[in-house]
Structure 1
Amino acid sequence: MPKESFLVNRIKSVGFALKGAFLLVRTEASIKIQFFIAIVMTIAGFYYEISNLEWILQVFAIALVMGIEGLNTAVEKIADFVQPNFDERIGFIKDIAAGAVMIVSIAATIIGLIIYLPKIF
């Protein structure tokens, strides 16, 4: 079987990544909520005419939250596959992954407050 070219491999990788992103948005309630919040914040960004730097921070914060949520979901799915029954050690791992989501969510909220509070008030 001939080896696929670098370009073909990259195209396949992008396809797998898009499939994963679609599955994440389609199946995970927390990502659906975060996606909705991202849309609202994007609309707010246009409404309040935020600066380029504010856009960069907002996009980065949204991407970070959603990306870490994706990793959290992957950790949970792997943990459930490895150990379908309750296990304290698996619970510990899942709690740490959820904690990572909480940390970046708090940071994203603070970024949003720094950007929008002065514009609203």
Structure 2
Amino acid sequence: MKKFLKGFYFAFNGISYSFRTQLNFRIHCLISLLVIAVCFYLGLTTAEWLWIIAAMAIVFMAELFNTAMETLVDLVSPKFNPKAGLIKDISAAAVLIAALMALITGILILLPKIIHAS
């Protein structure tokens, strides 16, 4: 049981590291809080909440994987290397795609409700 609980400690340590060191992670957190507030205000259905939560989770996972990849690349290639830079660029592109898909998901769910509420 101790080993199991220690796994949570390490996971929260990774989230904490990302929050402290990655501006984009903090921006995603802020945007997520704003989206959650809007969702509560608009009274989303359970299915709509699930799509919004899934989109946010994918963005956070992509951002965490990106941070891990950047940290690993810095470890194995401390000096400038074009391929190391390319790895970081590709990892950042994955976050961008996840964020764009989350944005599209949010627009498809929230925009009609916002228009209807006006």
TM-score strictly above 0.5: yes
What's the Cα RMSD here? Answer: 0.8
Structure 2: segments with no counterpart, 5+ residues: none
| Percentage of pairs with the same residue | 36
Structure 1's consecutive aligned runs of 4 or more residues displaced over 3 angstroms after TM superposition are none
Match of 1:35 in 2: 29
Alpha-carbon displacement from aligned partner over 1:71-103 (angstroms, at most 9, x marks no partner): 101101110111111111111111110111111
SS of equivalent residue, structure 1 residue 50: coil
Give the one of 53, 76, 80 matched to 1:86. 80
Match of 2:62 in 1: 68
Match of 2:14 in 1: 20
Structure 1: segments with no counterpart, 5+ residues: 1-6
CA distance in 1 between counterparts of 2:62 and 2:83 reads 21
TM-score by length of 1: 0.91
TM-score by length of 2: 0.94
Structure having the higher Rg: 1
How many corresponding residue pairs? 115
Alpha-carbon displacement from aligned partner over 1:36-86 (angstroms, at most 9, x marks no partner): 000000000100001101111111111110111011011011101111111
CA distance in 2 between counterparts of 1:73 and 1:23 reads 9
